[in-house]
Chain A
């Protein structure tokens, strides 16, 4: 199996962050701390998995925040009814919501060929609007089901359940990317949609598929975040958009599509979580955290480019 060197960069970065952090706070190396970070990284990782599929295709999904938000609203509202059947379908219903949003994204991008940057943005705006309409601008009532809470915060076999969720999703995604024709098409379209279509591939279907996968991942992320917070709240997805894209990109996935490895995305999610944590533990203010965050991302991308430049 080939391992992309770019994909290792965030892993090395994660290691460096932990080691440097441990110089100041020795308990950075404790299992407890690392497991907590892994749990938090799982939320980001699940979202980044979906984002990566779309970015591989050469598009971008900016509707992540409110797809996440709506999945949380749908699931917590269903649970909040107190009806046992509705509570049982809370998670499937949230995932369905994500899939439907994926279809709407797909229609704009694959049928009308609107740049995904614009269309998913508009979809996000509509989702925001419908949620305001639905909730009246307040945090929706309702709560997470025990299952959602367990998934987000519980442990099994010594590992956080969220990490297990991420792991299972990751295995499924790696299978999808490496073992199915969908995965091959995804990369091919990301590199050259024209050549792929001329090879007799129904490229619009693949785009639909990719956006549905992204919608499902965002919805799953929403279920986890809602389970963790035990509620849905306004704008709960907003803080995730930029870190999600950053996680995918510093994992070596080209924002233009066609090139990237899932291993890198996982590393990217870990790196960003650890970096955020270390910066906050080190008492950096929010301002410095942002500056360091942005600076380090630029640095890592420049290193990637420099390395490729030397190679070429």
Chain B
């Protein structure tokens, strides 16, 4: 492929595939990114975006497939090797060492650092960069552990730029940043692009891509669907390419308005915790699906944890089931008198124990529960269309989507009154998503109250009855009915001041 300027692309993939166990993450992909261009990669969760990025950044190698840098085949066997070719990646799973200071993190592994003596001479540039993108409040000597998520993302961006990349990969780099900061980051990126930097920008936030990208590649189910110039297609067309079907087919119809809502299952009145959650008020009725949205790290997950008894000393009145207070720990939360269930954000470290068999994972929540003993896991598995050889298989052998089904089944077996879900569709395929959406709607119609935390705006808009948008531990906006649109959610998330 030849660029407008006629030179070879910085990185090119040819026929690249990658499997994780039985799961095909990327199959037979041709892809190229060039200098002086911001190239956005769009795709649903699980479309293969992150794997693509890992291939380019040297975290994993294609099996089979070729990687070409400046037109020459190379083997990017580690991030170190990629760095030597001028490829730098800002990872979605943060690549900062929490116990080190901001300054040390920026220096860590940089080409100018090596293993010998380094100098703090260029720290003035680091300071200037941080100030420029809205990190004026970040001290260079602060421990990363003590920073907020948005501040960490800024440090990540500066760390990446400090390495003077030729190709910069940004994987969901701005997911926790608000509008004004995002604008400053984008301005900086445009400036660097004009100076010849290539940027690979990975996001599932369409509006950001639209604002920043020169070219857009769409991925679906591990395949490269199409690459085109930004502006060529409208929103609906791009979504269609991303999802492979129209939105209406993806989501089940919402409950009709005349359906009488059930009793209040969860009443939160003035919930406050440790300076991270401030005076939250909302109700969830049996049959409701309540959405929790906002930028990353604004207190959404903290709320679910507070309700489930993970946090100590939570203030405020909360009525859950027959209880008037927040449960002291998850063991009390799961008993039938409370009837809560939490499907955590991270399947691999919180939701499941991947090394254990499916059966052992399923019974873990069941053991020590006061409800009726043996749940019919077989029936649940059939309902959710769980694909597994047998329950004796380790959970690790399943695909992401099927793992998530197991994490759900484990809790559904307890017949909870209120189901708390933390981004349950992150990183799973479209088919499983549709199944989970349908399941949630079915559960709601049976009288279960569902609280759904999501980073996917479409999910919030099309699945939920009401959406609370969070910013800095507060509910800044509550959207329902006609007001509940994708634009409204984006606006409320990014510009909390304007919405409130």
| Residues of chain A having any CB pair with chain B under 8 Å | 181, 184-185, 187-188, 191-192, 194-202, 258-259
Contact = CB atoms under 8 A, between A and B. Distances in A.
Interface string B309-334: 01000000000000000000111111
22 contacts: A184-B360, A184-B363, A187-B360, A188-B356, A192-B349, A194-B349, A195-B349, A195-B350, A195-B364, A197-B329, A198-B330, A199-B330, A199-B364, A199-B410, A200-B329, A200-B332, A200-B333, A200-B368, A200-B369, A201-B330, A201-B368, A259-B355
A184 B367 CA distance: 9
Contact of B331 (A187, A202, A258): A202
B356 A199 contact: no
Contact of B356 (A191, A198, A202): A191
Contact of B350 (A184, A185, A198, A201): A198
B353 A192 contact: yes
Q: List the 6 closest A-B pairs by CB distance, nearest first.
A: A200-B334, A200-B330, A199-B364, A200-B331, A199-B365, A181-B367
Contacts of B333: 200
B492 interface: no
Contacts of A199: 330, 334, 364-365, 410
Given A184-B360, A184-B367, A199-B334, 16 more contacts: A187-B360, A188-B356, A188-B360, A191-B353, A191-B355, A197-B329, A197-B330, A198-B308, A198-B342, A199-B364, A199-B410, A200-B331, A200-B334, A200-B368, A202-B329, A259-B355
A194 B353 CA distance: 9
Contacts of A194: 349-350
Interface in B119-159: none
A258 B356 CA distance: 9
Contacts of B344: 198
Nearest to A197: B330
Contact of A187 (B332, B349, B356): B356
B94 to A, nearest CB: 18
A299 to B, nearest CB: 26
A201 B353 contact: no
Given A197-B330, A198-B350, A200-B330, A184 B355 contact: no
Given A181-B367, A181-B368, A188-B360, A258 B330 contact: no
B306 to A, nearest CB: 14
A196 B356 CA distance: 11
B101 to A, nearest CB: 25
A185 B353 CA distance: 12
Contact of A196 (B308, B332, B364, B369): B364
B366 to A, nearest CB: 9
Given A184-B363, A184-B364, A202-B329, A195 B352 contact: yes
Contacts of A187: 356, 360
B351 interface: yes
Contacts of A185: 367
Contact of B368 (A202, A258, A259): A202
A58 to B, nearest CB: 12
Contacts of B330: 197-201
A140 B410 CA distance: 55
Among B344, B349, B353, B367, max chain A CB count under 10 A is at B353
A259 B365 CA distance: 20
B109 to A, nearest CB: 27
Given A195-B351, A195-B353, A188 B329 contact: no
Nearest to A254: B355
Among A181, A185, A191, A192, max chain B CB count under 10 A is at A192
A188 B369 CA distance: 17
Nearest to B360: A184
Nearest to A204: B329
A196 B329 CA distance: 12
Contacts of B368: 181, 200-202
Given A192-B349, A194-B349, A201 B356 contact: no
A201 B331 CA distance: 6
Contacts of B352: 195
Contacts of B342: 198
